[in-house]
Structure 1
Amino acid sequence: MLIWVPILIITVLWGYAWVLMKEVLTYMGPFTFSSFRFGTGSIVLLLIVWLSRKRFPLRQYWRQLLLLGILQTAIVFLLVMYGLRFVDAGKSSVLLYSMPMWSSILAVKFLSEKLTPAKWAGLLIGMLGLLTILGWDIWLGHDWKVIIGELLIILAAVSWGISNVYYRLQLQHLPKLETNAYQMLFGTIGILIATFFTEWGEPIALNLHSGYYILFTGILASALCFSVWFLILSMIDMVTATISTLLVPIFGLLFSSLVLGENMTAGVITGSCLIIAGIIIAQVSGKIRQHVGSKT
């Protein structure tokens, strides 16, 4: 039971971070913020790695870590932060956390995992949820930029799913904390390059508010939460851990409504429920099958 205390803490922090990621766009460009955020997170994680004084085969795996960093940190958060310019924070968190659906689809092709009838049902329900959110916005006549922003965030979820499969194939045997530290470092370099070419010279307002947003998301939501997350992964099974991440969009929707005053439309609520239900059905079915198989 005690394991749910850190799970609750990090999912609350991650959910609240969506509010700050939206608010900070009034002070600087989306890529500039991502550079500050993950630059801060990388420094903190690398400091922790250095203090641990553990040997890590960086030279042997730098290419794989570079690709993981591009997929998991650079592409995901470049797309998310750009999409957040046009999409509500709560809705964005729901769309990004459709990631388990894409991971499941890719795992069939590249990890030789099988899709059970329950997993198929869960994926179809989740896809229906995505279409509900997008279709509702189209029906309401939202600006095309909103639709493009939503599609970019869905592409970010796909990239996150690809990174999960790539991690399983290439880097799963390595220490998790060190792997995360170096992939975040390489991802930050990719974000810095994108920032240089797209937002160089744009105004940046560094003050108490923007500094708080950077430090909170960089130190707490990135370095600390991911470190605790990897500890949780070593203590409970992957299915339970994945399901627990569904608390993030729930808190994201809640905080976005309370702090930002975002309107939770029927389409967002219905689509969110379908996505969450679909992922739970797909993940729990696998856990039940594994449990039954272990007893036979």
Structure 2
Amino acid sequence: MFDLHRSLGRSTLALFALLAGFWGTSFVAIQEGLHYFPPFTFAGIRYLAAGFIILTYAALTVDRWLPRGRDEWLSITVAGVLVFAVYHGLLYLGEQYVSGAVAAVVISLSPVLTVVFAALVLGEGDFDVRTLAGFALGVGGVVVLSQPDLSNLDERYLLGIGLVLAAGAAFALGAVLERPLRTDLPTRAMEGWAMVVGSLVLLGGGAATGESLAAISWTTTAVASLVFLTLGSGVLGFLAYFELLARVGPVDLNLVGYAEPVVATVVAWLLLGQVVSPATLAGFVLVFTGFALVKRDALARKVHALLPARDPGTGGAYAGMDD
């Protein structure tokens, strides 16, 4: 039996758990915070503060934090608009109608959508039968999660599912469009600027839809939710994400998206007494199965790499495979 702690390192496992904890809990924090904040304003304030904190950190720790040239500003704009503004705007709107645990399951379809968009938009990878089947399983999970009952449709719940699904699609599309726009600007600086750009779009969207700062109810729960989302999942979460991306790569890091619904479900149960439904569990299993099918080869390589090497004479050995 392989020693996972030895293979990945205790600090990497700790970062993985920290990131899953921050980002999984954030779905519940958003759900609760929306009782006190208008959605676009809530997301905008969160990322305006987080963006300035990360930019300050970048200015102190990297050689260059100011963007220059059209390409760098284009990359920042794509990330700011799609990954931060559209994604979070739709997510916050959707969580007005569905629970944080349900939203986390729907968002876990994003890695599958990323593969689909990469094939369709950039021509990367093969959009083969296996990819199509994985995508169909993931969508099937969302359909199961929606609990369609034509005799008793809950239109608000279905609207929430649709908004969160669109949020996940925006995130996946933004991640794909960023690939050919990569520049020499350090990642921390780029993400900090993208957060600021996204926050301005969100706050502008809030103003355009009639949201007002006067509508915020500054209760203890509201402040706790905002502080956690800004400092926890916003600042510390993204810094952990960047570090893990450098250590383990995108395939392993995608798995954090499948730990998030588990964390969101446990936190919602412990803090709010919410119990996940069988449909939510079934939807999660289908979405994860779709991801595993799409990423089967990459996941198999990772599992083989974790298995201990054996002497060929002992019979049946995995010495690890290249990424």
TM-score (norm 2): 0.84
- 5 Å-filtered alignment, 1:76-115, equals 76-109=87-120, 110-115=122-127
CA deviation string 1:58-88 (max 9, x = no partner): 1312133112210000000110101111111
State whether structure 2 residue 27 is matched by structure 1 residue 4: no
State whether structure 2 residue 138 is matched by structure 1 residue 129: no
Bigger RCO of structures 1 and 2 (CA < 8 A, at least 6 apart): 1
How many residues were matched structurally?
A: 294
State whether structure 2 residue 25 is matched by structure 1 residue 33: no
Report the CA distance shift for 1:182/1:111 in structure 2 as closer, same or farther (over 3 A): farther
Secondary structure, counterpart of 1:58 in structure 2? coil
Candidates 5, 23, 29, aligned match of 2:32:
23
Q: Aligned partners of 1:159 and 1:241: how far apart in 2?
A: 19
Identity %: 20
User: Could you say which structure has the higher helix fraction?
Assistant: 1
User: Match of 2:314?
Assistant: none
Is the 2:58–2:65 Cα contact (8 Å) retained in structure 1? no
Secondary structure, counterpart of 2:215 in structure 1? coil
User: Match of 1:55?
Assistant: 64
Is the 2:101–2:261 Cα contact (8 Å) retained in structure 1? yes
Q: Aligned partners of 2:283 and 2:59: how far apart in 1?
A: 44
Report the CA distance shift for 1:289/1:121 in structure 2 as closer, same or farther (over 3 A): farther
Candidates 262, 274, 279, aligned match of 1:267:
279
Is the 2:74–2:181 Cα contact (8 Å) retained in structure 1? no
| TM-superposed deviation, 1:182 | 1.0
| Equivalent AA in structure 1 for residue 56 of structure 2 | L
Is the 1:243–1:280 Cα contact (8 Å) retained in structure 2? no
Q: Aligned partners of 2:126 and 2:299: how far apart in 1?
A: 13
| Equivalent AA in structure 1 for residue 251 of structure 2 | V
Q: Aligned partners of 1:174 and 1:117: how far apart in 2?
A: 38
User: Match of 2:174?
Assistant: 163
CA deviation string 1:13-38 (max 9, x = no partner): 11111111111112121112112211
User: Match of 2:223?
Assistant: 211
CA deviation string 1:204-226 (max 9, x = no partner): 11233211111110111011111
| Equivalent AA in structure 2 for residue 169 of structure 1 | P
- 5 Å-filtered alignment, 1:65-84, equals 65-84=76-95
- Aligned-residue CA RMSD (Å): 2.3
- 5 Å-filtered alignment, 1:120-199, equals 120-134=132-146, 136-138=147-149, 141-171=152-182, 174-198=185-209, 199=211
| Equivalent AA in structure 2 for residue 215 of structure 1 | V
User: Match of 2:294?
Assistant: 282
| TM-superposed deviation, 1:143 | 2.3
Q: Aligned partners of 1:108 and 1:54: how far apart in 2?
A: 35
| TM-superposed deviation, 1:124 | 2.3
| Equivalent AA in structure 2 for residue 80 of structure 1 | L
User: Match of 2:52?
Assistant: 43
Q: Which moved more, 1:56-65 or 1:95-104?
A: 56-65
Structure showing greater radius of gyration is 2
User: Match of 1:13?
Assistant: 22
| TM-superposed deviation, 1:121 | 3.2
Unaligned 5+ residue runs, structure 1? Answer: none
Secondary structure, counterpart of 2:255 in structure 1? helix
Candidates 199, 214, 223, aligned match of 2:235:
223
Q: Aligned partners of 2:174 and 2:196: how far apart in 1?
A: 15
Q: Aligned partners of 1:65 and 1:108: how far apart in 2?
A: 23
| Equivalent AA in structure 1 for residue 23 of structure 2 | W
Secondary structure, counterpart of 1:236 in structure 2? helix
